[in-house]
Structure 1
Amino acid sequence: MMNVFTEVGDAVLVNDPVYTPFMSKVEQNGRTLITSSLQESEGKYHLDLADIEAKIIEHDVKLYLVCNPQNPGGRVWTADELNAVLDLCKKHDVAIVSDEIHQDLTLRGHTFTPFLTLAQGYEHKVVSLTSMTKTFNIAGIKGSLIFAKDAALIEKISLQQQLNDEYELNLFAYTAMHSAYREGGEWLAQLLVYIEDNIEFTLDFLADKLPKIKVMRPEASYLIWLDCSAYSQDDEQLYDILRAAKVELNAGIKYGEEGHLKMRINVACPRMLLEAGLARMVMAFEGLGG
């Protein structure tokens, strides 16, 4: 998508914090990385629309990479929020690529809105990306989907795929994708119940045993964003404290400067394993005033 919508040196906007490849792929492709920090209030992230527009104008941004549902914060952006982003991008002629890979894991009480459903009249500048690999835990097949509506844009994407030698799925990936989407509905429904139960267990456990950790309740997926600043003011030390207790969480600083002193925990695992990991977190922090 980088070569479809931008040239080398162009500015590409992402939010901070965000899944690490959003930032690394921009720079690896020779583009200029521009970040707009998400704002936290009422226990969840919000888009700073004023800052987004200011960055677009200041840096002549050509492409905005949207993460919805948001990783690592777990927000499912509302239709109103996405429409506000769309209005800004239309105003300044900015293309939008929306990574929607966690969409199938939207949790109860929240509604996922595909960006393309809002893009009437701007379809030539909007692409949505997704895959079954997060939902069904089959990332090894290297299969994904690109959604676009504009015929000329589709042709341009197809040409770029051919240039990248990535035009066709292998047979194994095709079979896995077909099976997952055609026959995985019941399994997914049961998975969501299990994930939601694990999320509630984790929130209750942390509130009881480690109340100084500020927890961001996810609206989608199996990832929970933890503010651990009460226990350390150094990212490396925080990671080492947990690692010493044999707990492997994702260091928040890898997701941008706004991830300072935060950690990301994955609760898509058997309850027994989750309980053991959380107990080790208590052991790690109990000597620090936990």
Structure 2
Amino acid sequence: MYDFTTFKPRRGIGAEKWSTFERQAVDNPDLAPYSIADMEFPAAPEITAALKEAADFGIYGYTVADSSYRDAVCAWMDRRHGWAVEPTWIFQTYGVVPAMNLALHALTAPGDAVIIQPPVYPPFRAVVTSTGRRVLENPLRVKDGRYEMDLEGLEALARRSEAKVFFLCSPHNPVGRVWTRRELQAAADICAANGVTVFSDEIHADFVHPGSVHIPFAALDGPAARECIVGTSASKSFNLAGLVTANIIVSDPDLRARLTGKVVGYTGEYTNYFGLAATRAAYEQGEPWLEALLEVIRGNYDYCKNFMAEKFPSVTVYPLEGTYLLWADFNSLGLEPAELERFMVEHQLYLDEGYLFGTGGAGFERINLACPRQCLTAAMERLDAAAAEFGFKR
């Protein structure tokens, strides 16, 4: 019913993920990048139809979310995640990262500190440092082949007087964890006991694979859950990142007032006309497309995992509980991070290098699985041939 096999190169349209090819004058038309977390799939046809209808209307003035839009968001959260959201809890920004910036300006002062859990999505650190705040690292740790939170370390950091905010990535990018209720509740209790506000980035919440369940942080028990900020968007789920529309959900009225009081100065009071139309169509009509997509992502993960097990048994591929991003440890190849990056690029493998994600990421690669299978097959075959040529330890 849906097409997840056609490959549509995105050169020449301003796609950031594809700009590497332009900068490096790469002219092979069969190549695809496997880096930045948007997809190489067209959006659901229901969304395209809604955008065409919105375009045909012909007036694109200042736009705010209306009640039908808010109702669509609330219905999606209830249906997909069992989370009862009130329409008044929602406000818009151009993205979750801009909302993180807004939160730091609303809730902290220069010199205050923010807790992050590396290896983690690079803007978590960049937002903190660019606003004159300090980073407190609570690195994830690996136990029995699976990442977990260091809750004792989190508590030690939360007790520090300068710690004001905790940036939680849930599901976690890049390691692919979907946190359990027990893990989230423990983190919530620590933050509540120490007056640390949680900003939970849940942009990958719709990409949860069998055996895991996404728990919205705000659906937990206790004051930290009631007084948290949840960042969501249809951008990852439905490949709408270029429409720069995110929903920030805050149930506590005082906290919401502090945040929305900064909106005009930091993210603007209006939103994207087409982003609202696309998000509403996604949440009202796009669920069958998303379910079909999840099957494709799981198939792509299984293919890459099995390929690595056969061809590169020393490379650890971590379990994919959530997201569409494979996280793999290539340190066994014996290359320094810069050498690993050079090796990948020289063999036309454009991945996200693990060092970009901070502590614990060096020697890893993040591979975007949201592309037609033939793209992944071509990449894995190039990797195999290149490794054979150089005689790398497998």
Measured against the shorter chain, the TM-score band is: over 0.9
1:66 matched residue in structure 2 = 168
In structure 2, do the counterparts of structure 1 residues 208 and 103 end up closer, same or farther at CA, with 3 Å as the change threshold?
same
Which whole-Å CA distance do the structure 2 matches of 1:58 and 1:150 have between them?
A: 24
Bigger mean CA offset, 201-210 vs 48-57: 48-57
Report how many aligned residue pairs link the two structures.
290
2:223 matched residue in structure 1 = 121
- Confirm or deny that 1:162 pairs with 2:300: no
**Deviating runs (4+, > 6 A) in structure 1?**
none
1:282 matched residue in structure 2 = 384
Structure 2 unpaired stretches of 5+: 1-102
- Give the structure with higher Rg (CA): 2
SS of residue matched to 1:97? strand
- Confirm or deny that 1:181 pairs with 2:283: yes
Q: Which has the higher strand share?
A: 1
The one-letter amino acid of 1:17's match is P
- Confirm or deny that 1:231 pairs with 2:328: no
Which whole-Å CA distance do the structure 1 matches of 2:374 and 2:177 have between them?
A: 27
Structure 1, residues 238-265: CA drift from partner, whole Å, max 9, x if none?
Answer: 0111111110111000000210111101
1:203 matched residue in structure 2 = 305
Q: CA deviation at 1:36?
A: 0.9
Q: CA deviation at 1:170?
A: 1.8
- Confirm or deny that 1:216 pairs with 2:318: yes
- Does structure 1 retain, via aligned residues, the 8 Å contact 2:116–2:166? yes
- Confirm or deny that 1:8 pairs with 2:120: no
2:206 matched residue in structure 1 = 104
Which whole-Å CA distance do the structure 1 matches of 2:247 and 2:327 have between them?
A: 27
Which whole-Å CA distance do the structure 2 matches of 1:165 and 1:95 have between them?
A: 20
Which whole-Å CA distance do the structure 2 matches of 1:59 and 1:261 have between them?
A: 34
- Does structure 1 retain, via aligned residues, the 8 Å contact 2:147–2:175? yes
- Confirm or deny that 1:260 pairs with 2:362: yes
Which whole-Å CA distance do the structure 2 matches of 1:118 and 1:220 have between them?
A: 19
* TM-score normalised by length of structure 1: 0.97
In structure 2, do the counterparts of structure 1 residues 122 and 213 end up closer, same or farther at CA, with 3 Å as the change threshold?
closer
SS of residue matched to 1:26? helix
- Does structure 2 retain, via aligned residues, the 8 Å contact 1:61–1:94? yes
Residue correspondence of structure 1 range 25-36 to structure 2 within 5 A: 25-36=127-138
1:133 matched residue in structure 2 = 235
The partner residue of 1:80 within 169, 182, 190 is 182
Which whole-Å CA distance do the structure 1 matches of 2:354 and 2:154 have between them?
A: 22
* TM-score normalised by length of structure 2: 0.72
SS of residue matched to 2:360? helix
- Superposed CA RMSD: 1.3
Residue correspondence of structure 1 range 239-254 to structure 2 within 5 A: 239-254=341-356
1:270 matched residue in structure 2 = 372
In structure 2, do the counterparts of structure 1 residues 228 and 123 end up closer, same or farther at CA, with 3 Å as the change threshold?
closer
Task: Give the percent of matched residue pairs that are identical in Structure 1 and Structure 2.
Answer: 32
In structure 2, do the counterparts of structure 1 residues 182 and 77 end up closer, same or farther at CA, with 3 Å as the change threshold?
same
Which whole-Å CA distance do the structure 1 matches of 2:300 and 2:309 have between them?
A: 14
